[in-house]
Amino acid sequence: MTFTPRCITVNSRPTSHGPVIHRAGWVVVDPWTILSNGFVKVESGLIKETGQGRGYGFGRIIDHGPGVLLPALVNAHTHLELSALKGKIPFEKGFGVWVKELIKQRESLGINALAIGAKEGIRSLIESGCLVAGEISTLGLTREMFLNSELAGVWFREFLGNTPSGHSYWLDKNEKIIASLAGHAPHTTSPQLLVELKGAARKHNLPFSIHLAELEAEVRFLKTAKGSWADFLTEQEIDFSGWGLPAQSPVKYLERHGILDENTLAVHLVHVDKKDIEILLRHHVQVCLSPRSNQNLHHRLPDMDGMLKAGLKPCLGTDSLASVDSLSIFDEMAFTSRAFPLVPPEEILAMATINGAKALGFGDRFGSLAPGKSGAFIYMPVKVSSRLSLIETVVNARFDK
Ligand SMILES: [Zn+2]
């Protein structure tokens, strides 16, 4: 099914006029609770009540039309600093060439062009119905623009390298933004630095993000301390003899170093087996999948069916515009729906909403249209006649841009 919705952001700020009642043909409170002829009553920026028909009482009424009011989408993993590289890095020559080209072009573009691209990226996130994001900032460029945007979410400052820094890091939390830390990946970042970063985030009970089990070369290096990645580190005169290798898998390696817990957001997980999934479950690790990016860069997808069957609750992230052609979570849902036909559409919508909000630490503010949550949500002008076709339509809609 092809569909091209336009999303309208409903951002209800406190007003002196009392409550605002948003009406629509449908209200998706969460993927399993759908109201026909529904309303969402918002007061002082927060949802006060959802319901059906005319039982909303006093307030200013905004009738959005026959379509659907939905929780704002959540893009739990992106790199806005790479937005200016959209369409510039070829995938065909393999991941190694892609990385080298990315670093080269990022340097040659310069800070101003990257900042303009990142601002454009924020705009396209919001336009495509995403109001909560997990931004991975390698250069520190996006801090102010992320803070000052309409987005809520986590600004993760990312570090990589071989030695602990001993720095004190900027960590913060308010109702709209969390500032925290990310370690790049277990094959690029020493366990000593990962432990330092995770320790700082843990001390403040904040989320910590890491790319995990994304690459074949990463897995081979961690399992054998040999291979192309080991050669590369040796060429760079990086001594990995103190990294505690070999390990049985990337997931087991992070478990051994004490990195895994409910505030760790593990991204990608393309190379995990049943035992790894059990470990992720046991430590209540948050899981973020980026199937479009994995397909483009590695021609391989994560075992989403296996993860769901085991009880994991993945969320979705697009990764950057250097590896996908849009930052739209609608596009990520549509791809996921085609690539994983056995996954129910309700689960895919949950990944794009409530699972992502919880993974980023915003489950009490976003992810569903429950009373007490943010009065910022989205409207899609769809025309459907049943609950089932509604969810199918939402999940398979590509963002029209
Ligand atoms: Zn990434």
pLDDT of amino acid 68: 95
- Separation of alpha carbons 288 and 400, rounded Å: 24
What are the phi and psi torsion angles at 338 (to 5°)? Answer: -75, -40
CA distance 228 to 387: 51
Q: Which domain holds residue 352?
A: 73-359
Q: How far apart are the CA of 139 and the centre of ligand 1, in A?
A: 14
Strand partners, 344: none
Residues 292 and 355 in one domain: yes
What pLDDT score was predicted for residue 15?
60
Cα 339 to ligand 1 centre (Å): 20
> Long-range contact list for 16-20, CB < 8 A, 24+ apart?
17/60, 18/43, 18/58, 18/59, 18/60, 19/43, 19/48, 19/57, 19/58, 19/59, 19/60, 20/59, 20/60, 20/61, 20/62, 20/375
Residue 182 and residue 50 share a domain = no
Does 90 lie in the same domain as 134?
A: yes
Confidence check: pLDDT of 109 > 60: yes
CB 319 within 8 A of CB 81: no
Residues 94 and 17 in one domain: no
The predicted structure's pLDDT at residue 123: 95
Instruction: Report whether pLDDT(399) > 90.
Output: no
pLDDT in tens, 208-264: 999 999 999 999 999 999 998 999 889 888 899 999 999 999 999 999 999 999 999
The pLDDT assigned to 144 comes to 96
Tell me, what CATH number does 383's domain have?
2.30.40.10
Mean pLDDT of the chain: 93
How many CB atoms sit inside 10 A of residue 120's CB? 16
Distance CA(74)–CA(76), nearest Å, equals: 6
Give, in order, the Cα–Cα distances in Å from 372 to each of 101, 368, 375. Answer: 46, 10, 9
- Compute the distance from residue 210 Cα to the ligand 1 centre, in Å: 8
Burial class of 195 by CB neighbour count within 10 A (0 to 12, 13 to 18, 19+)? middle
Torsion, Cα 144 148 150 155, to 10 degrees, reads: 30
More confident residue, 4 or 361: 361
Give the pLDDT of residue 91: 83
Residue 400 included in any domain = no
How far, in Å, CA of 277 to CA of 96, rounded? 27
CA of 77 to the centre of ligand 1 (A): 6
83 lies in the same domain as 205: yes
Give, to the nearest 10 degrees, the angle between helix 291-298 and helix 329-339: 70
**Å from CA of 296 to ligand 1 middle:** 13
Confidence band for 6, pLDDT divided at 50, 70 and 90: low
Question: Quick one: pLDDT at residue 110?
Answer: 93
Quickly state the pLDDT bin for 5 (edges 50, 70, 90): low
Which one is predicted more confidently, 309 or 170?
A: 309
Report if residue 1 sits inside a domain.
no
In a domain? residue 3: no
5: nearest Cα among 383, 391, 385: 383
CA of 218 to the centre of ligand 1 (A): 14
Ion ligand 1 neighbours (CB, 5 A) are 319
pLDDT single digits (tens) 42-55: 998 899 999 999 98
Residues 106 and 23 in one domain: no
pTM: 0.96
- What is the predicted pLDDT for the residue at 400? 67
Give me the number of domains the chain comprises. Answer: 2
Average pLDDT on 2-11 reads: 60
21 lies in the same domain as 144? no
The mean per-residue pLDDT over the stretch 28-33 comes to 98
Question: Ligand 1 center to residue 78 CA distance, Å?
Answer: 6
What spatial distance separates the first Cα and last Cα of the chain, rounded to whole Å? 17
Q: Distance from the CA of 4 to the center of ligand 1, in angstroms?
A: 27
Å from CA of 156 to ligand 1 middle:
11
Domain presence at residue 401: no
Q: What are the backbone angles phi and psi of residue 5, rounded to the nearest 5°? A: -80, 160
Q: What angle do CA 263, 265, 269 make, to 5 degrees?
A: 145
Residue 81 counted as domain residue: yes
Task: Please tell me whether residues 67 and 192 are part of one structural domain.
Answer: no
| Residue 277 CA from chain centroid, whole number | 19
State the distance from the centre of ligand 1 to the C-alpha of 21, rounded, in angstroms: 39
pLDDT for the residue 299: 94
Instruction: Identify whether residues 27 and 95 lie together within a single domain.
Output: no
Cα 145 from Cα 118, distance rounded (Å): 8
Q: β-strand 68-71 against 376-380: which pairing, if any?
A: antiparallel
DSSP per residue, 145-186: HHHTSS-EEEEEEEE-BSS---PPP--EE-SSEEEEEEE--T
Percent of the chain with pLDDT over 90: 83
52 plus 99 within the same structural domain? no
CA–centroid distance, 55 to ligand 1, in Å, is 45
Per-residue pLDDT of 72-91, as tens digits, reads 999 999 999 999 999 999 88
Q: Is residue 55 part of a domain?
A: yes
Same domain membership, residue 167 and residue 33: no
Q: Is it the case that residue 9 has pLDDT exceeding 70?
A: no
Return the pLDDT at 223: 97
Whether residues 166 and 297 fall in one domain = yes
Phi and psi based region of residue 253 (left: phi greater than 0; alpha: psi -120 to 50; beta: remaining): alpha
Report the CATH number that the domain containing residue 225 is assigned in CATH: 3.20.20.140
Residue 2 in domain: no
Q: Are 76 and 362 in contact (CB under 8 A)?
A: no
CA of 237 to the centre of ligand 1 (A): 25
Centre of ligand 1 from the C-alpha of residue 290, in Å = 9
313 C-alpha to ligand 1 centroid (Å): 19
Task: Kindly state whether residue 175 falls inside one of the protein's structural domains.
Answer: yes
